[in-house]
Amino acid sequence: MSAWRKPWWPAAALSGTVAAVLISAVPPTALPARAADRNGPPVPARYAHQQLHWQPCAAKPALECARMTVPRDWHHPGTGADLTVEVSRHRAAGPARRRGVLMMAAGGPGASGLTRPADFVARSPAVGAAYDVVGFDQRGVGSSTPARCQTDAEFRGFYAHDFRDRSPAALRGVLARSRQLVAGCLRRSGDLVRRLTTDQAVRDMDLFRALLGVRKISYYGPSYATWLGAYYATEFPQRIERAVLDSNEDFSGTWQHAQGGLPKSFQRRFEQDFLPWIARYDTTYRYGRTAAAAKARWEARRHTLHEHPLTVGALTIGPNQLDNTTIQSMYNARQFPQLAAALRALDHWPSTTPAERTRVAKLFTSYLSPGFAAVYSSVTCNDTPWHGDLDYWLDRSAKDAAAYPLVGARELSYAATCAAWPVSDAPRIRVTGRGLPTTLMLNSVRDPATYYEGARAAHRALRGSRLVTVTGGGDHGQYQNGNACVDGIVNAYLLDGAAPGHDVTCAAGPLPVPAANAVPSHARRTRSSVLRSAAVPAISSWTPSVRPAARPGAL
């Protein structure tokens, strides 16, 4: 029996109770890691000879959009109904100096990449003048054939309890919801979720390249798109001219290994960057003069929300929702002020203004979406094997929840989803860098979502790559993030082919300074009043004026 996915025998702590909830996972036949077939089977004519009919994009008229038909399964292209992949293009602004095509992809997995070329070109006009910048919604995402696993209510229910609750009943609930997520994927999307893999996506990308009529592409991808780009470069090295991988997943190993470092890295970002920052501006936010005091205050608010969740229209702000909003705000320091203002608003909720409440609603309803979760679960569970032993995950998640509670507390729910996932037949791709030109990799040292230790492992695996380390910071996404050092290196590489001769460093920019009116004057109470309020639940009910939004990102 595979060591990766054993049947889920009940742990001693839950003896006799979990068995009624769980169905044993089917043991897999593990596929060995391999370098991809560099040639692969020929693309069937009905895909290779199709035409892209470009029209202005509905969401971004400055871009052109088209639909591309792809096989459901590239390894068995005659099986099952075809899929649609929506693609986009921003033509080079300087056609006389056009270098070629720069393909870009989105993170997640699960974020939409269709309209991103417009913002990319706006931020880097020189690159937009030299390249046709193209993007796409990955299979399963957005305007492409979508995957569905949960209703909105089921998605909210997945986060409705407290992930820190380690009681037997709570753990049974976590495991049951994870299995319900898997069952929902299979019921609503059928075998599509089995074909949402990075390997399938890179073959879609290469068809897109061919239909654009170019022999090679350059590539830019952040976050999960580094995994996507590394796999593409491994399977089609002869198709890559230049590649920039920004904020790198550890694509040298498994998703289980890559995700295993997230509890530590998110906690590190929270404690080493955000808490000292909010303490530095105590005169503005009144959240504690030291990082330790600010952390204690945050924990007090979380405890209050556990005991007395806050009703915000259709949204319930409980402990998990506080975690969610804090997690998403760790991605970029520019989000620190809005998180700090929301934390202050929660502390004086009965006296908040309508504008404050609208901002809080927008912030607390922007965490992921059911569509994102469907693709995220499918790709991360399909690509590489996961350990399926329930005792293992109960033990590991308990340790991570105690040491790194911000993300460690929810580790069991994500791991249990992949442990219960149907056995995948996706090929294992071993990234080596063989046959590639110099690849540029970017990473900050305290990136929470693509942590530096994993980026260094990916760098070692991708031989011949150059790593640009951003020291003193932790933002996720380095290019076009206001760092002139990073932008200069990337632009020189993309425009002139000038790759650094060795690994280099750039210093992170300064953390943001709160605006003078960051907190309304009525909220700037005396310190004794603020401290007393930490233990008092602020409960109210009102209707927000914003709708929940999907958050692109990596968790």
Looking at residue 548, what is its pLDDT? Answer: 32
Looking at residue 327, what is its pLDDT? Answer: 98
Residue type, 119: D
Q: Does residue 423 contact residue 26 with C-beta atoms inside 8 Å? A: yes
Q: Is the pLDDT of residue 17 over 50?
A: no
| pLDDT classification of 525: cutoffs 50, 70, 90 | low
What's the CATH code of the domain at 200? 3.40.50.1820
Number of domains in the chain: 1
**What would the pLDDT profile of 252-305 be if each residue is shown by its tens digit?**
999 999 999 999 999 999 999 999 999 999 999 999 999 999 999 999 999 999
pTM above 0.85, yes or no: yes
Tokens of 369: 């979406």
- What are the φ/ψ torsions at residue 505 (nearest 5 degrees)? -125, 150
Q: Could you tell me which residue, 495 or 18, shows the higher pLDDT? A: 495
490 located within any domain? yes
Q: Does residue 178 contact residue 381 with C-beta atoms inside 8 Å? A: no
ω into 95 cis (within 30 of 0): no
208 located within any domain? yes
123 located within any domain? yes
| pLDDT classification of 111: cutoffs 50, 70, 90 | very high
Q: For residues 174 and 491, what is the distance between their CA atoms, to the nearest angstrom?
A: 46
**What would the pLDDT profile of 403-422 be if each residue is shown by its tens digit?**
999 999 999 999 999 999 99
Q: For residues 129 and 90, what is the distance between their CA atoms, to the nearest angstrom?
A: 10
Q: For residues 137 and 218, what is the distance between their CA atoms, to the nearest angstrom?
A: 18
381 located within any domain? no
| Cα dihedral 244, 90, 238, 498 sign | negative
**What would the pLDDT profile of 330-380 be if each residue is shown by its tens digit?**
999 999 999 999 999 999 988 888 888 888 999 998 888 999 999 999 999
**What would the pLDDT profile of 183-214 be if each residue is shown by its tens digit?**
999 999 999 999 999 999 999 999 999 999 99
73 located within any domain? yes
Looking at residue 522, what is its pLDDT? Answer: 59
244 located within any domain? yes
453 located within any domain? yes
In the block, which residue shows the tokens 């998990």? 320
Looking at residue 439, what is its pLDDT? Answer: 98
Neighbours of 241 (CB within 10 A): 17
Average pLDDT value over all residues in the chain? 88
- What are the φ/ψ torsions at residue 317 (nearest 5 degrees)? -95, 100
248 located within any domain? yes
Q: Does residue 521 contact residue 332 with C-beta atoms inside 8 Å? A: no
Helices (H), 290-440: 291-307, 319-329, 336-347, 354-364, 370-383, 390-403, 405-408, 411-419
Q: Is the pLDDT of residue 445 over 50?
A: yes
Residue 109 DSSP SS3: coil
Domain that holds residue 70: 62-147+194-256+427-507
Tokens of 481: 């993030």
Q: For residues 321 and 497, what is the distance between their CA atoms, to the nearest angstrom?
A: 45
Question: DSSP secondary structure string, 457-523?
Answer: HHHHHSTT-EEEEEET---S--TTSS-HHHHHHHHHHHHH----SS-EEEEPPPPP---TTSS-GGG
**H-helix or E-strand containing 140?**
none
Residues 216-236, mean pLDDT to the nearest whole number: 98
Q: Report the candidate in 141, 539, 163, 546 with the shortest Cα–Cα distance to residue 324.
A: 163
Neighbours of 60 (CB within 10 A): 17
